């Protein structure tokens, strides 16, 4: 019988650790290490821990272990990217392979938390170790001290499959379903279950596989806790969809953002995909914050991927202070933030988007409408470019990896509407911001994204300079969802809705053409009719496309109010005007714009809706004539 090592034995030296290693480091290049295994095997995307043997041991005799992921396998050798600084790692240092892929913990307690790309809880790390985080610290992502009241929904003897609900806990205002682990193969039977307050790692039920002859293999019992792990690079409902126990549905309802320009002209479907590219300073962060706050999504996951630390800190500090317009509580109560700033390791930045999407998929499986906002996918792609360069792969355009297009598609394709096995329907809407250098929309990341998404909200530096917010350029933006949601729009907003939107879009295009002409020839070079068309386009832009984020009323407009406002605006644009000259036309439209803006700033009451006024009455109000005379 081997002799047990005394717990009071001195810690092993670095040479001892290297001599005993079965897997050891053979080369180090920045955050990349090459390893060699003398026994066992290495799996692609497997997670391992690189021991910094040269560092002094802590009080427990342990040395820092740096988390890493296998990216390429060559026989008994493999390349791993380390998620932290490799300072101090030398050739011969031992590596511990886990046999598991990069995973996150899914369970109650995710909402309201701030994680990094590896799902490390940043608040816990800062509380325990200060703001300068030590290497090799990976605390549990979910608080093990909190107890959740578990209520079973099945009994002993119930037969279940992967993804079926075992019971629920209450997470804030959301019923949180505890499901059979998604990696379960075949039918299982509940052999034991209990009710009460439990921590996330307490066993609340036991399940055993059911054999082909109907008997239960109790010897292969598996515990069920309130949390379960899942590999971030694997779509969560993949196996359920292949077995046809879950169904992917066609998006047929919009994600209402309460931003007029988006909801009316460039709608995004629930379960759809959209991108917001734009130069620096065009208002991407503010726009995504407004969408997160006022949209009809139940759960919001914000992935700050490679953003500057100042912007991330601003998001973390602001969200707990913001009032949720749907509940009156804090916006963080239904938000998860995954952040990796530009000062954090590149490898962790690359994993952050997968972490955020997996969390979003988990809540979608419960039947919730989830919104994932990634800011920005450009820096995520830059992390892939750096990783690809270190692996000496053949580069594509602008040195991005040749598989950039497929990588971006694989991320956005995880969005969609899913009907779960219990019949609950949930959605995951994916919105990614893109930060092209110099606002160049022809660069590879923007072009690959445009070929994937179905809504493009292009931000304009010129509109941002003119303080025309949101600075979405209506002349270059588009949405394929407008045609896709035509049936819903006809029913909810009225027949002919899309046709009226198309007519106003045409007015905007004509107005831009006339403006460019006037920049060359002056007002004298255009006819009075063309000048009136230009003023109509200016009216649409100033009173409907632009929205005041600092006004408590205009910052958010409900869909019902948008319907009335747009109807009034369309009537104003489509009616005929008789002006003696261009000065009279300019004066009339200037007054009309001021009057309409006052309607935007006036809150509706139970007795009155400001937009119930007719176009003739509004024109008469600003011109001082009777409605019949104003025509």
Give the CATH number for residue 509: 1.10.1140.10
293 and 405 within one domain: yes
Q: List the single range of 39-43, 480-484, 592-596, 608-612 with lowest mean pLDDT.
A: 39-43
* Domain presence at residue 325: yes
Give yes or no for residue 585 having a pLDDT over 50. Answer: yes
**More reliable by pLDDT, 392 or 39:** 392
> What is the chain's mean pLDDT, rounded?
90
pTM for the model stands at: 0.93
What is the pLDDT confidence band of residue 140, given thresholds at 50, 70 and 90? very high
Could you list the residue range(s) of the whole structural domain that residue 503 is in? 497-630
* Domain presence at residue 134: no
218 and 258 within one domain: no
Q: Are strands 335-340 and 416-419 parallel, antiparallel or unpaired?
A: unpaired
Q: Is the dihedral of CA 257, 260, 264, 266 positive or negative?
A: negative
Please state the rounded mean pLDDT for residues 500-520. 96
Give yes or no for residue 344 having a pLDDT over 80. Answer: no
What is the pLDDT confidence band of residue 438, given thresholds at 50, 70 and 90? confident
What is the pLDDT confidence band of residue 625, given thresholds at 50, 70 and 90? low
Contacts 24+ apart (CB under 8 A), 603-608: 603/553, 604/561
Task: Give pLDDT, residue 488.
Answer: 96
HEC sequence for 451-488: CCCCEECCECHHHHHCCCCCCECCCCCEECHHHHCHHH
346 and 262 within one domain: yes
Residues 6+ apart with CB under 8 A from 202: 225, 226
Q: Residue-wise over 182-202: b if at least 16 C-beta within 10 A, else e?
A: bebeebbbbeebeeeebbbeb
253 and 166 within one domain: no
User: Tokens standing for 275?
Assistant: 């991108």
544 and 466 within one domain: no
263 and 409 within one domain: yes
Please state the rounded mean pLDDT for residues 573-586. 92
Evaluate the omega torsion of the peptide bond into residue 376 and state whether it is cis, within 30 degrees of 0: yes
* Domain presence at residue 142: no
**Nearest CA to 557 among 253, 297, 286, 257?**
257
The model's pLDDT over 161-182, given as tens digits with 9 standing for 90+, comes to 999 999 999 999 999 999 999 9
Instruction: Give the position of tokens 């009080």.
Output: 59
Instruction: Give the position of tokens 């816990």.
Output: 124
**More reliable by pLDDT, 315 or 464:** 464
Q: Are strands 65-74 and 77-82 parallel, antiparallel or unpaired?
A: antiparallel
Give the CATH number for residue 444: 3.40.50.300
Give yes or no for residue 418 having a pLDDT over 90. Answer: yes
521 and 600 within one domain: yes
**Nearest CA to 589 among 547, 528, 522?**
528
User: Tokens standing for 550?
Assistant: 């600092």
404 and 267 within one domain: yes
404 and 280 within one domain: yes
* Domain presence at residue 424: yes
Cβ atoms of 340 and 352 within 8 Å: the answer is yes
Question: Residue 614, SS3?
Answer: coil
Question: Residue 22, SS3?
Answer: coil
Give yes or no for residue 3 having a pLDDT over 60. Answer: no
Q: How many domains does the chain have?
A: 4
Task: Give pLDDT, residue 623.
Answer: 77
Cross-strand pairs, 65: 51
Cross-strand pairs, 178: 167
Cβ atoms of 401 and 407 within 8 Å: the answer is yes
Q: What is the phi/psi pair of residue 270, to 5°?
A: -65, 125
Question: Residue 502, SS3?
Answer: helix
Q: Is 221 exposed, middle or buried (0-12, 13-18, 19+ CB in 10 A)?
A: middle
* Domain presence at residue 596: yes
> In terms of residues, how long is the chain?
631
The model's pLDDT over 205-231, given as tens digits with 9 standing for 90+, comes to 999 999 999 999 989 999 999 999 999
Q: Are strands 369-375 and 299-305 parallel, antiparallel or unpaired?
A: parallel
Going from the C-alpha of 2 to that of each of 19, 21, 478, the distances in angstroms are: 19, 19, 71
343 and 265 within one domain: yes
Instruction: Give the position of tokens 């998006």.
Output: 251
User: Tokens standing for 478?
Assistant: 């588009």
Task: Give pLDDT, residue 19.
Answer: 64
- Compute the distance between CA of residue 14 and CA of residue 17 in angstroms, rounded to an integer: 5
* Domain presence at residue 120: no
What separation, in Å, do the N-terminal and C-terminal C-alpha atoms of the chain show? 103
Going from the C-alpha of 603 to that of each of 11, 469, 596, 597, 598, the distances in angstroms are: 70, 20, 13, 12, 10
**Nearest CA to 428 among 241, 248, 272?**
272
What is the pLDDT confidence band of residue 335, given thresholds at 50, 70 and 90? very high
* Domain presence at residue 510: yes
Q: How many other C-beta atoms are found inside a 10 Å radius of the C-beta of residue 373? A: 25
Task: Give pLDDT, residue 390.
Answer: 85
- Compute the distance between CA of residue 509 and CA of residue 534 in angstroms, rounded to an integer: 10
What is the pLDDT confidence band of residue 2, given thresholds at 50, 70 and 90? very low
Instruction: Give the position of tokens 């598991």.
Output: 100
CA-derived radius of gyration, the chain: 29
Cβ atoms of 476 and 468 within 8 Å: the answer is no
- Compute the distance between CA of residue 254 and CA of residue 267 in angstroms, rounded to an integer: 7
- Compute the distance between CA of residue 380 and CA of residue 274 in angstroms, rounded to an integer: 16
Give yes or no for residue 8 having a pLDDT over 60. Answer: no
Give yes or no for residue 80 having a pLDDT over 50. Answer: yes
Q: Is the dihedral of CA 112, 117, 123, 124 positive or negative?
A: positive
* Domain presence at residue 275: yes
Q: List the single range of 53-57, 275-279, 284-288, 455-459 with lowest mean pLDDT.
A: 53-57
Cβ atoms of 436 and 449 within 8 Å: the answer is no
- Compute the distance between CA of residue 590 and CA of residue 327 in angstroms, rounded to an integer: 39
378 and 266 within one domain: yes
- Compute the distance between CA of residue 252 and CA of residue 562 in angstroms, rounded to an integer: 19
Please state the rounded mean pLDDT for residues 278-306. 90
524 and 422 within one domain: no
Q: Residue-wise over 510-527: b if at least 16 C-beta within 10 A, else e?
A: ebbebeeebeeeeeeebe
Give the CATH number for residue 79: 2.40.10.170
Give yes or no for residue 629 having a pLDDT over 60. Answer: no
Going from the C-alpha of 274 to that of each of 287, 291, 544, the distances in angstroms are: 13, 12, 21
């Amino acid at each position: 019988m081997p002799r047990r090592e005394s717990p009071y034995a001195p810690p092993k030296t670095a040479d001892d650790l290297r001599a005993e290693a079965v897997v050891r480091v053979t080369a180090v290049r920045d955050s990349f290490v090459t390893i060699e295994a003398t026994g066992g095997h290495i799996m692609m995307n497997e997670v391992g821990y690189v021991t910094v043997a040269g560092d002094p041991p802590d009080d427990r005799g342990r040395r820092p272990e740096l988390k890493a992921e296998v990216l390429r396998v060559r026989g008994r050798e493999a390349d791993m990217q380390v998620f932290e600084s490799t300072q101090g790692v030398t050739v011969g240092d031992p590596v511990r392979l886990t046999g598991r892929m990069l995973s996150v913990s899914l369970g109650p307690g995710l909402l309201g938390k701030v994680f990094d790309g590896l799902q490390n809880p940043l608040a816990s790390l800062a509380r325990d170790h200060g703001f300068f985080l030590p290497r090799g610290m990976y605390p549990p992502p979910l608080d093990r001290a909190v107890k959740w009241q578990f209520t079973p929904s099945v009994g002993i003897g119930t037969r279940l499959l992967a993804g079926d609900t075992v019971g629920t806990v209450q997470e804030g205002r959301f019923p949180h379903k505890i499901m059979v682990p998604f990696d379960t193969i075949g039918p299982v039977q509940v052999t034991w279950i209990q009710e009460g307050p439990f921590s996330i790692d307490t066993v609340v039920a036991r399940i055993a596989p059911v054999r082909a002859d109907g008997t239960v293999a109790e010897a292969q019992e598996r515990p069920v806790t309130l949390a379960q792990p899942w590999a971030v690079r694997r779509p969560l409902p993949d196996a359920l969809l292949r077995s046809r126990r879950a169904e992917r549905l066609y998006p047929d309802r919009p994600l209402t953002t309460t931003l007029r320009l988006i909801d009316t002209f460039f709608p995004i479907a629930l379960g759809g995909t959209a991108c917001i590219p734009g130069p620096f300073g065009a208002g991407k962060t503010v726009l995504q914050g407004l969408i997160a706050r006022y949209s009809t999504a139940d759960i919001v996951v914000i992935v700050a991927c490679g953003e500057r630390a100042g912007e991330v800190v601003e998001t973390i500090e602001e969200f707990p202070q913001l009032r949720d317009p749907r509940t009156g509580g804090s916006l963080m109560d239904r938000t998860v933030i995954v952040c990796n700033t530009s000062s954090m390791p590149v490898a962790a930045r690359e994993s952050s988007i997968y972490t955020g999407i997996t969390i979003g998929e988990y809540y979608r499986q419960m039947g919730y409408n989830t919104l994932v906002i990634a800011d920005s996918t450009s820096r995520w792609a830059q992390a892939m470019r750096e990783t690809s360069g270190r692996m000496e792969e053949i580069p594509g355009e602008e040195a991005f990896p040749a598989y950039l297009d497929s990588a971006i598609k694989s991320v956005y394709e995880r969005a969609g509407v899913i009907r779960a096995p219990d019949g609950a329907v949930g959605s995951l809407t994916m919105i990614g911001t893109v930060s092209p250098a110099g606002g160049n929309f022809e660069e590879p990341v923007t072009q690959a994204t445009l070929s994937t998404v179905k809504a493009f909200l292009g931000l304009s530096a010129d509109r941002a300079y003119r303080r025309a917010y949101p600075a979405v350029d209506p002349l270059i933006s588009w949405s394929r969802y407008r045609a896709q949601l035509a049936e819903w729009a006809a029913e909810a907003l009225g027949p002919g809705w899309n046709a009226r939107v198309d007519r106003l879009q045409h007015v905007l295009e004509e107005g831009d053409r006339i403006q460019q002409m006037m920049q060359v020839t002056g007002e004298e070079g255009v006819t009075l009719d063309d000048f009136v068309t230009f003023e109509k386009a200016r009216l649409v832009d100033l009173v409907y496309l632009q929205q005041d984020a600092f006004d408590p009323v205009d910052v958010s407009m409900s869909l019902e109010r948008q319907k009335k406002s747009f109807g009034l605006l369309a009537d104003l644009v489509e009616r005929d005007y008789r002006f003696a000259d261009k000065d009279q036309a300019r004066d009339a439209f200037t007054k009309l714009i001021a009057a309409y803006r006052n309607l935007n700033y006036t809150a509706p009451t139970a007795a009155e809706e400001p937009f119930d006024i007719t176009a003739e009455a509004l024109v008469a109000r600003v011109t001082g004539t009777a409605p019949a005379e104003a025509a």
